[in-house]
A = this chain, B = another copy of it.
């Protein structure tokens, strides 16, 4: 019996209509990345588990898709089951030996030891996993190919990643990331260039955005001044609620998190920070005057703003101290981009990191990068109807097939139309007119071309505009002109 076809939960098929829109986004970011001197790399979907494990926290390790070793892995594995005492992790564990000697079954043993059986088994039967993000593979790439690379290394990477997250609306187990990074340069010009890229991408995509900017060093400075280095996340989370719950409640929350009254007092100008970016920076300078790292952060931000002013950038750039994404990871600038006309999370984000490649043995390589969220950008453009009507991809004209001599004649007109760069097709057989017109309608092909004996004798074609319904006899040259110019 035939199987009922389906796909794994959390994954998606993309139809032609969806793909044309998705490619429009990818092609746009690609073209901008390249204009700024960034070039593509690609890494394999599968990485060694030794590359991936331990890079995303304990939760991340669980969310890796692991690939079964090929071959008859399980014979080995079963043999290992029989020799379990020899496994590294358990050889040391006397308790384990005792349970085993008592003849206890493996799940019982694992339960008594408080571990999951799969923690024990997976390393025996799987050595590879699917890429979880593009950052760790990029770090691995840079270290592995460091002798072939000229630094600063400017690369972009647009590839799918896989996470065994619980699927839900807007969260998938397979999705694309579009990362653009430069490594091997401390210059703040790189931050500025990424901001220019954000500006240009979203201008091309017609999305109104605000870019929020912060600096990890300023957050460290605030923590230093308050004497509360461990509370910086609590502080940013509390400040972020100002609009919703008001100053009084924010202060209550800060106190509840264990901040002293003195620290809360010191923090007041920061919680109430307002005005232009320059005004905010002036306020901050007063508060952070005694923090070296804080003042360094301010200096960095000031320099970025100086560049942006010199460039006369139109983009709405806003200093936002509550921005703390990936705090443990970033060391300088932190970016986030939000759409102004639709409530949705950030559509682009990133920042500077000072030791990405250290985990793979290459120290002191600073980098800065941002990632464009293709799925969210797609949702914004779809909802706000921002995708271009004419995309240069979809079929522009369908030639009706009347068979015989008409078909051969149409085939040659079609050849000329395609040579002019117009995506077009001839219905593959002389099916009923209605069927052919339905095909054009369903596929939203804007023009239909009819060539019968009359047209052939008069050296014209009948061109039907499917939207207006207008129909007229035109020469092939006119035909090409009309379709190209729409």
Contacts and interface: CB of A to CB of B under 8 A. Distances in A.
Interface in A77-119: 77-79, 82, 105-107, 110, 116-118
11 contacts: A5-B144, A8-B48, A13-B144, A35-B423, A36-B425, A45-B162, A72-B117, A74-B116, A75-B110, A78-B105, A189-B429
Contacts of A70: 62-63, 65, 164
Contacts of A34: 393, 395, 423
Given A3-B359, A428-B187, A42 B68 contact: no
Nearest to A415: B311
Q: Which of A4, A75, A116 has the most CB of B within 10 A?
A: A75
Contacts of A28: none
B361 A4 contact: yes
B40 A16 contact: yes
Contacts of A125: 68, 125
A216 interface: no
A370 to B, nearest CB: 16
Contacts of A140: 5, 7
Interface string A152-170: 1011000010101000000
A66 interface: yes
Contact of A310 (B40, B65, B411): B411
A44 B12 contact: yes
Interface in A287-341: 307, 310-311
A34 to B, nearest CB: 5
Nearest to A82: B105
B44 A8 contact: yes
Interface string A121-150: 110011110100000000011011100101
Contact of A141 (B13, B77, B144): B13
A41 B20 contact: no
A272 interface: no
B428 A75 contact: no
A438 interface: yes
Contacts of A443: 150
A271 to B, nearest CB: 35
A215 interface: no
A378 to B, nearest CB: 13
Contacts of A56: none
B45 A20 contact: no
A13 B145 contact: yes
A224 interface: no
B425 A154 contact: yes
A2 B428 contact: no
Given A5-B143, A39-B394, A40-B23, A122 B45 contact: no
B13 A39 contact: no
A107 B75 contact: yes
A358 B140 CA distance: 44
Nearest to A418: B35
Contacts of A42: 13-14, 19
A117 B162 CA distance: 29
Contacts of A411: 189, 307, 310-311
Contacts of A193: 425, 428
A204 to B, nearest CB: 12
Given A45-B130, A72-B118, A193-B425, 20 more contacts: A3-B359, A3-B360, A3-B361, A6-B48, A8-B48, A11-B46, A12-B44, A13-B145, A14-B43, A19-B41, A35-B422, A36-B425, A37-B398, A68-B68, A74-B120, A150-B442, A150-B443, A187-B429, A307-B411, A310-B411
